[in-house]
Structures are given as structure tokens and as C-alpha cells.
Amino acid sequence: DAGVTQSPTHLIKTRGQQVTLRCSPKSGHDTVSWYQQALGQGPQFIFQYYEEEERQRGNFPDRFSGHQFPNYSSELNVNALLLGDSALYLCASSLAVTRVWGETQYFGPGTRLLVL
């Protein structure tokens, strides 16, 4: 049973460029959440997708956008990259029906983005 997968593993971009990160959820999961983890910090919630719609959003500017596909996979897009966007981007998947009693989110290995 494949877990959460993310691509690419590493990425180097320059300021002002745009980037797309991809995530495939754990088999059977229908919800994908994205987190940004700066060096030495805990992950910060970016947004969550369920039924191909953004359901919740954290305190991130609209340069950060996403998409969920019918097969539940997801993309995170970041426009007009800033140096401060350098971080590990984590994708997590879960099952929406379990939300009422404390869903468990399963994390992928992350994509490490460096903005120069």
C-alpha cells in the first residue's frame, strides 16, 4: 500500500519565478492538506482540499494556490517566488469521514524548495 508521495524531492528556483509541487495521497484517502516548514520550525498549514475544492486556508497570501484532481491527487502552485518561500513543503492526506473523531493526517517526504 503506497503511502503519500510527492514530487519533485528538491527544487531550485530564482526570485519571481513560479513553481508547481505535486502530491499523491495514500490509497483510499480523499483529502489533501499542504504545509510549509521553514528551517528549524514546525509546519504551518497552507490549505486543504476535499472534493476538488479548497475547504480551509491558513494565513498565506494568494500567491499560494492549489488544485485537487478527480483522482484526489493535488498540486501546490506558488507564484512570484520570494526568498522567504524557501522551505520544506509537506503534503498530508486523510479521510474526510474520520474528521469528526480526530482524523489522522499522513505525511509525504516533502519537497525542499530553495529560492535564490
- Provide, rounded to whole angstroms, the least separation between the CB of residue 24 and another protein: 14
Give the nearer residue to another protein in terms of CB position, either 45 or 75.
Answer: 45
- Provide, rounded to whole angstroms, the least separation between the CB of residue 9 and another protein: 10
- Provide, rounded to whole angstroms, the least separation between the CB of residue 56 and another protein: 6
Binding-site ranges for another protein (CB under 8 A): 4, 31, 33, 35, 40-45, 48, 55-56, 58, 90, 92, 94, 96, 99-110
Total length of the chain: 116
Give the nearer residue to another protein in terms of CB position, either 36 or 85.
Answer: 36
- Provide, rounded to whole angstroms, the least separation between the CB of residue 58 and another protein: 7
Q: Are 38 and 87 in contact (CB under 8 A)?
A: yes
Identity of residue 32:
V
Listed in order, strand segments (DSSP E) in 1-116 are 5-7, 10-13, 19-24, 31-37, 44-50, 53-57, 64-68, 74-78, 87-94, 106-107, 111-115
